[in-house]
Amino acid sequence: MTLFNKLGLAVVMLISMNAVASNQFTAERIAERVAPAATPCVEGQACKAAVAPVVAAAPAAVKAPSAKETYDVKCFACHGTGAAGAPKLGDKDAWAPRVAQGMDVLYDHALNGFNAMPPKGTCMDCSDETIKIVVDYMVDSSK
């Protein structure tokens, strides 16, 4: 038997001894693993007490981000810097002709895109209502 074979045999023996020592093969552990998942209740026989099912707690309500928070995350890159001709937040002169077109036009441009702005800007996961709320925020901040 070569040295390599002896080392391999020693490793197998150590692993086997560890498995036995870890109580994986005791009668109780085996009984736990092969026990039925449920015990049926048969008419005329005493039933074991029912175990209450585990119910996950309801997730905590998630607060929707405010218009400012959405603007800061999704719109600032262009409307905070004026990139690609976007009117900057607070720039009354840049917003005045846009506001004069009416809110429906601004909503349409924000939702469907206009010039360099893609539909919904960079907020493809935003609802139409969220987009309108952010447009309202930008217009109100630029009057």
What confidence tens digit (pLDDT) does each residue in 14-24 have? Answer: 666 655 555 55
Token code pair at residue 115: 């010039």
Q: What is the pTM of this model?
A: 0.58
**pLDDT tens by residue, 45-77:** 777 665 566 666 777 777 888 999 999 999 999
Domain boundaries, the chain: 3-34, 67-140
Domain 67-140 adopts which CATH fold? Cytochrome Bc1 Complex; Chain D, domain 2 (1.10.760)
